[in-house]
Amino acid sequence: MPLPWTRPVLAGQLQDLGLERGDAVLVHAALRQVGPILGGPDALIDAFTDVLGPEGTLLGYCDWQAEEDAFADPALRPHVPPFDPERSRSIRDNGAFPELLRTTPGARRSGNPGASCAALGGQADWFTADHALDYGYGTQSPLGKLVEAGGKTLMLGAPLDTMTLLHHAEHLARFPDKPVKRFEVPLLINGATRWRWCEEFDTANAPPGLPEDYFATVVRDYLATGAGQTGRVGNADCVLVAAPEILAFAVHWLEQHYRTVGN
C-alpha cells in the first residue's frame, strides 16, 4: 500500500470495513496508529465525509479540558474559564481527533461539558442539540441519539476500553447501588459565568467489583459472538460495531456480571 496514506485510499478502507453512505458513526481514533497521511488528519476527516456523504454524520467524544483543581479554590474560582461549547478545548486524554473534528468548519458541539460530543455532517445539529446537563450519558445525549439513529461506533486504532458508548450502557443497566456523583461546573450563559450543580452516574470508575478496563472485555465478548467488523484503516487495527446491538449486549453483560460479582 502507498505511504503516506491518501484520502481516496483511506475512504476505500473505511468502506471495506463497513461504513456506508448516510451512516452516523462515533469514532475513537489513535492517529499515530494510522501512520502518515497526505494532508494530515484533515484528510482522514475528509475521507470519512466522502464515505458518509452529506446526509451522514461523523461524531467524536470531546469531554473538555477543565481546570478542576481550581474549582474549589476561593482565590481562583472567580477566574476559572467557563465551559463554552464553541471554544473550550476537548480533553487531551482523548487524543487529537475530537479536537480536530470539533474545529473543522461546520462542526457542532453538544452542551454537556464532561459528556460533550462534536458532530459534523447532515445531522450534526440534531445530535448535539439539547444535551442534558444531568445524566449526560443517558438517553438525552449524543450517545442515546446514536442508538436511536441506528448508528455505529468505530475504534480506529484506539484501545477497546475507550468505547464511550458503553457509558450509556452503564446508565441504562439495572443493578443496585449505582455510584452517583454531584459536582459543580462553570457554564458560559449569556456571556457570563454561571456555576451549576450537576448529577450523573459515576462514569470515572467501573461499577463495584469490575476491573477498570472492563469495557475491553465487553467488546471482545461481543466480537466473539461473530458480530461487528474488524479490519485496517491505514496501519491501524479497527473495530466497527452497530451501536444498538452492542448497547443491548453491554447492558445484558453488565446486569449479569454485576449479579455474579455481588454474590
Average pLDDT value over all residues in the chain: 94
Q: What is the pTM of this model?
A: 0.94
pLDDT digits (tens, 9 = 90+) for 20-65: 999 999 999 999 999 999 999 999 999 999 999 999 999 999 999 9
How far is 52 from 121, CA to CA, in rounded Å? 8
Reference 6, options 32, 44, 33; nearest CA is: 44
Look-up of cell digits 458541539: 109
Gap between the terminal Cα atoms of the chain: 52
| CB-facing half-sphere around the CA of 242: CA atoms within 13 A | 11
Q: Is 62 exposed, middle or buried (0-12, 13-18, 19+ CB in 10 A)?
A: buried
Answer yes or no: are the C-beta atoms of 59 and 184 closer than 8 Å: no
Q: Per-residue pLDDT tens for 128-182?
A: 999 999 999 999 999 999 999 999 999 999 999 999 999 999 999 998 878 899 9
What does the alpha-carbon distance between residue 225 and residue 220 come to, in Å, rounded to a whole number?
A: 9
The whole-angstrom separation of Cα 185 and Cα 183 is 7
- Looking at residue 140, its amino acid is Q
